[in-house]
Every structure is written in C-alpha cells, then in structure tokens.
Amino acid sequence: MIEQLTKDIGEVKATLFDIQRFSVKDGPGIRTNLFFKGCPLRCIWCHNPESYLCQKQLSFRPQACTGCMACVDVCDRGVNQVTQQNGHLQLSVQFDKCNACGKCLDVCCYDARSIIGRDYTVSDLKKFIATDMEYYKIPDEEGECGGITLTGGEPMAQFSFIDFFLNEIKDIHICMETSGFAPTWQYERLLGRVHLFLFDYKVTDPLKHKRLCGVDNQQILTNLEFLCSHHADMILRLPLISGLNDDDEHFEAVAKLLSKYANIRRAEIMAYHNMGVNKADQIGLSDHKEIQRYNGNSASEEQKQEWVRRFKERSRKNSYILIQYKI
C-alpha cells in the first residue's frame, strides 16, 4: 500500500493553505484535512478569508514589525511603501501589487510576513497520507475509521486536481466539505469516489444568501438535490450567526431536508467565532470596501444551546449536534 501511495505520477499541482493532521471533527475517525485555496463565495463571516484566492498571497502582521524597512529596499514592485503619519515613518503594504515572491520574508527578522499557500503534487500529498495510514484504521466511537477530508476554501475550485487526485487514492475513506457551488457534472464525477459529503447549508432565502454569501443558492440547492437523489452519504453543516441566518424560515427548511432525505445523517451546527477578523486584516481585506465583513462577537454558550433547542423542536431526535469550533 505504501509503495502504491508514493509512486510518482507527474507534476499536476494544487495550492493548499494548510494540512491538518489528526483531525477528529471533519468526518469519522482520525483524518488528514487538506485545505485547498480558492472559493467562489464571499461569506461575510468567513473564518478562512485567506482561502478566497486560488493563488499564493502575502500575509503581514504589523504588531510583529519593528519598522526596520528592509522589506522596502528588497521589493521591486512597490508593495512596501514608507509613509508619514503624525510625524512618524510608517510602513504601508500594497497587497494588490504583491506576486508572493517571498523576497521580503528573507529580510524580515521577526517573522512579521508569511506567504499563504504552497503548491503540492499528488505525490507530495501521498507522502502525508502514507505517514498516517495506520491512524486511519483506528475506529471512532461509532465504529467508523478515518481517512482524508478535502476542505478549504472550496475544494471544487481546483476540481481538475481533485479529479486526478481521487483517481490515484485507493482504499481510503474520502470526505469533502463543500459549499455546493460548482457545476453539477463535477459532483456527478465524484459519486462513488467521495464517500461522505459535509455539505454547507448556509442560508435558505435566495436573496439573503446572495447578500450574505455573494452568490444566490440556486446552484447549491440543485446540487444538494442531485446528491440526495443519488443517495450520497451526507452531513449538513450549518454555520449560524446570530441575527443573520438564524431565522425560523432557515430552521424549518433544514428540518424539512432532514425529514425528506434519508441519506442525510444529521446536521452539525457550526457556531460563529471571530478568529477570521484578524486574518482578514493581515491579508489586506480591510482595505477592500467591496468585500463586506462581519465583525461581531463569537457566539455564547447560551446562544449555541438555544440554537440546538430550536432545531430539535422541529426535527427528529438526535438529528443535530453542536460542533465546538470553526465555520
């Protein structure tokens, strides 16, 4: 198996912004999460805004910067500029000019800068998988073993790589976390190769979906219907933000989906937290007025339990669980 997993299959590449080993919250068992860059949605609450773009990008933490200005001299694209504010020299970063060459990282003594994103071939990823194969065999409390979870971002944004990757990975349980926003024919190609879909169901009302997520949900609902009609194993994931998408209409729609489709195991409530706010600042999103961001407080424990109670009033027993981490 190890030899099969590590064979060379060429230079097809994908750009990932993280690889998380030993995950136990994104599918059954112990898993390796592959975080793909690129997403067609612009959810205002996104906690991974560094996943928006498919390409590599600069991240800058001003609190770690000493103001040595070495980055100004080494950059020939004018990304780093010296400005004056209240009589003091200040570093201004023009993120849109950056091509992620990494030269400024070499002269930054305090790691105030990083490049988000790294290219991987299928062979590269197979090496990670081969290392953890024995852990995937350990069953969880429900008796299910682990595997790989494709997430992001939206992994379907790099579908050509996903399609090729799945052809090369055999005998491993595959989960995919997806927004559902991709051509239906692509999901059709995944049938039988992705074993469990973690399907994000964000907003029911189409106009509100477009306002909060940047696109309407017609294609998403079409793909949800398609996967359910083909009996794809599925868990609904419900990002909830108080006052934005926790309305009764949304709760009722989720309950109806659980009642209608036997292939949907359950719904997982993903309560909002605000860890994405600082990350958005560090990649310059705060300078883009056209990109709306929600900067509210993280959901309280009382709010989370209230959501669970409201859902359980509307649906079958044990069909909802609360995931205590990201959205």
Domain final position from 116, 132, 153: 116
User: Is the same domain home to 249 and 101?
Assistant: no
User: Is the same domain home to 256 and 121?
Assistant: yes
- Dist. CA 119–CA 56, nearest whole Å: 9
User: Is the same domain home to 38 and 100?
Assistant: no
Domain final position from 116, 132, 162: 116
User: In which residue are the tokens 């992705």 written?
Assistant: 194
pLDDT at 6 over 50: no
User: Is the same domain home to 189 and 310?
Assistant: yes
What average pLDDT score do residues 97-122 get? Answer: 95
Please write the tens of the pLDDT for every residue from 227-269.
999 999 999 999 999 999 999 999 999 999 999 999 999 999 9
Provide the number of structural domains found in the chain. Answer: 2
Domain final position from 72, 89, 116: 116
User: Is the same domain home to 220 and 243?
Assistant: yes
CATH number at residue 7: 3.20.20.70
User: In which residue are the tokens 């290392």 written?
Assistant: 131
Please write the tens of the pLDDT for every residue from 51-68.
999 999 999 999 999 989
User: Is the same domain home to 158 and 127?
Assistant: yes
pLDDT at 174 over 60: yes
pLDDT (0 to 100) of residue 290: 55
The tokens for 307 are 């959501």
Please write the tens of the pLDDT for every residue from 146-155.
999 999 999 9
Please write the tens of the pLDDT for every residue from 205-221.
999 999 999 999 999 99
User: Is the same domain home to 97 and 14?
Assistant: no
CA angle, residues 239, 16, 50, in degrees to nearest 5: 50
Domain enclosing residue 179, as ranges = 2-55+117-323
Residues facing residue 317 across a β-bridge = none
User: Is the same domain home to 151 and 250?
Assistant: yes
- Under 8 Å between Cβ of 55 and 100: yes
User: Is the same domain home to 237 and 106?
Assistant: no
User: Is the same domain home to 38 and 111?
Assistant: no
Judged by DSSP in three states, 210 sits in: helix
Please list the alpha-helical segments (H only) found in the chain: 2-5, 70-74, 103-107, 122-131, 133-136, 159-168, 184-190, 206-213, 218-229, 248-260, 276-282, 301-314
Does the pTM surpass 0.85? The reply is yes
Please write the tens of the pLDDT for every residue from 273-303.
887 888 989 998 865 555 677 878 888 889 9
Compute φ and ψ for 149, nearest 5 degrees: -120, 125
CATH number at residue 83: 3.30.70.20
User: Is the same domain home to 165 and 229?
Assistant: yes
Q: Return the percentage of the chain with pLDDT > 90, whole number.
A: 75
